[in-house]
A and B are shown apart, each in its own frame.
Chain A
Amino acid sequence: MARMKFLCDAERCIECNACVTACKNENEVPWGVNRRRVVTINDGSPGERSMSVACMHCSDAPCAAVCPVDCFYTTDDGVVLHDKDICIGCGYCFYACPFGAPQFPKNEAFGSRGKMDKCTFCAGGPLPDNSPEEYASYGSNRLAEGKLPLCAEMCATRSLIAGDGDVVSEIFRERVTWRGSAGFAWGWGVAYNKSGIRKGKAIEGNAVGGD
């Protein structure tokens, strides 16, 4: 089975936010929820870089480790999904996640957040593939149709790449060869690379890019 990954090539990202818009449109996410966002570092100064970030589908997902109701699971493709019928909206996954990927439709006093929502790698949820219920709760299930996440498909500069980890790293390696320097790519295998966190089913985590 493939191990699905996102990779954002910071040398190419132009902060156009097309990935954010594509995601919102494709998944019809609840108001106030942004499954994907673009973060710009050193905005306006030399060395400015932008990166598109969403759930990185870690092999050692810390959100799954801290969830009090254990509602997370990892698919055979290495996609981290969760069951909204079990989620209680406690927000713990948001505290543990390195990327701020978990989102909540509400934020009211007395802990009212609503059920957590996050990037599904366009792979829907635990309900039957491409059923209306699945679409209403989790958004689109492009993976079941043999398509990749729309954010990456939509990226004009091909900065955001999604797909099988081997293919993604091969594309990036080729770019680096042509470019002559690695620059900075935003990719992720494991969140913190520590033992003791629940491992995804037989998935080897190896970080792409980074230092």
Chain B
Amino acid sequence: MFAQLVDGIFWDIALWVFGIGVLWGILSIFRVRNKPDYSEPRGSGTAGAVGANLRRFLPRTELVSRTRLHIVAGYLFHLGLFALLFFAAPHVLFFEAQTGLGWTPMPYWAFIITAQLSFLGLMLLWIHRVMHPVTRLLSDLDDHLAAILTFIVMLTGCMALIGEFEGLRVLHRFTVELLMVYFPFSRLMHAFMFIPSRAFTGAWFGRRGVKA
């Protein structure tokens, strides 16, 4: 009963909300028009946009000593999650069943180590966020909800690893649907927005001849 809903109507709803929500979010940001900039350009906007996108993968040297944990844990979590989402064998099978496109998944042990590093990053980052007085003040409900929801999705995923218990697979898919519905309305949108937003700032600064 519940399994049919999760595999059927709930999935459809989640997919539509996710798809339309993400598109709407991206389009509405691109539709925002800034005032025209009549100043004499001192540098290339395009170069600034590309440069900012690449440079921000590396931490600012002045801040490295104070953000070591964020850098290490942040990369562990994000890269791990990306690899899990697209290269875990059950996910590849799922995508193949949904779209007909399949690719080579990671071996089981690599998939588990990736999941572990990802969990390590997520847990350290969230606990640090709560423990640090400044980030605690900066965080609102959305930050905590996004982190906890992501953790629950990953936890149910790891609980369903054996792949033999239907109930656990349904539970994992249900939490994924919750996350997909929540996604467009939260800062999780940074998954799609981080490149355009870096590009925007980079172009703005580049035009003025400033490194962003």
Contact = CB atoms under 8 A, between A and B. Distances in A.
Interface of A: 88-89, 108-110, 112, 114-115
A128 to B, nearest CB: 19
Given A109-B108, A110-B108, A114-B162, 4 more contacts: A89-B162, A110-B109, A114-B164, A115-B164
A32 to B, nearest CB: 15
Contacts of B161: 112
B161 to A, nearest CB: 7
A104 B161 CA distance: 16
16 contacts: A88-B162, A89-B162, A108-B108, A108-B109, A109-B108, A109-B109, A109-B112, A110-B108, A110-B109, A110-B112, A112-B108, A112-B161, A112-B162, A114-B162, A114-B164, A115-B164
A183 B161 CA distance: 49
Contacts of A108: 108-109
Which applies to chain A's interface (DSSP): helix, strand, loop or mixed?
loop
Nearest to A113: B162
Contacts of B164: 114-115
Interface in B58-116: 108-109, 112
A49 B112 CA distance: 44
Contacts of B108: 108-110, 112
A208 to B, nearest CB: 37
A114 B108 CA distance: 13
A122 B112 CA distance: 37
A89 B164 CA distance: 10
A110 B161 CA distance: 10
Interface in B145-198: 161-162, 164
A114 B163 CA distance: 9
The 10 A-B residue pairs with the shortest CB-CB distance, nearest first, are A109-B109, A110-B112, A108-B108, A112-B108, A115-B164, A89-B162, A108-B109, A110-B109, A109-B112, A88-B162
Contacts of B162: 88-89, 112, 114
Contacts of A109: 108-109, 112
Contacts of A114: 162, 164
A89 B161 CA distance: 12
